[in-house]
Amino acid sequence: MSKLYFRYGAMGSGKTIDLLKVAYNYKERGQDVTLYTAEIDDRYGTGKITTRIGIQADALTFNKDTNFYRDIKKTDNKPACILVDEAQFLTKKQVIQLSDVVDFLDIPVICYGLRADFQMNFFEGSGALMEIADKIEEIKTICDCGRKATINMRLIDGVPTTRGNQVLIGGNDSYKSVCRKCYKNLTHHVPGI
C-alpha cells in the first residue's frame, strides 16, 4: 500500500542527503525513481538536487503550473517511487495531486522540505502536507546551544531579521538553524507580547 510521506527539518538537517540516499537504494535494486525539485531554487543549477556536501542528482523541476498527477499518469514507465525536494514550495493543489498519485496510481511519494519559514509560519506546501500526509517524520539537527533546531532564522549581512518576503532562496549566508529560544533571544522577542 503506497503512502504520501512528508519528511521535514530545519536547514542543515540532512533532508536532501536523505532523499538522495532513498533514490540510490531504489536504483540499486533496479527500480526507477522520479526526482523533482523546485524550479525557483537554482542555486546549484536548474533541475539539480544538491546537498551541502556536494552530492547531486538531476531532477525534473516543478513550478506553480506543474500538474503532478497528469504528468506522472501519462508516462509509459511508471516509477517505483517519486521523491520531491523543496516541498515547501508546492501548492496545496499540488499536494492533493501527489496524494492522487499515491491513491490512484499506487506510487509512493516522499516529500522533503522545510516546515515553516523564518517567521515561524507554514509554507503553503508544508501546511498542506502536514494536513494530509499519511506519515510525517522530522529530520533533526541541533542549534549552537545544543537544543533541537526547529527554526530557520534569516540573516541579512549576518544580522538576524524577522522582516521580508516569505521566500528568499539562500544557504548558510542567508539562514541559520536555531532552536525557538535562541530565535527569540536573537530576534529580540519580548516575552508575553
Would you say 105 and 112 are in contact if contact means Cβ atoms under 8 Å apart?
A: no
Q: How many helices (H) and strands (E) does the chain have?
A: 5, 11
The residue from 86, 124, 137, 138 that is catalytic is 86
Question: CA-to-CA distance for 117 and 76, rounded, in angstroms?
Answer: 37
Give SS3 for 77.
coil
Question: At a CB cut-off of 8 Å and minimum separation 6, what does 54 contact?
Answer: none
Question: At a CB cut-off of 8 Å and minimum separation 6, what does 47 contact?
Answer: 37, 58, 59, 60, 61
Would you say 28 and 20 are in contact if contact means Cβ atoms under 8 Å apart?
A: no
Q: Could you confirm whether 86 is annotated as catalytic?
A: yes
Which residues are identified as catalytic?
86
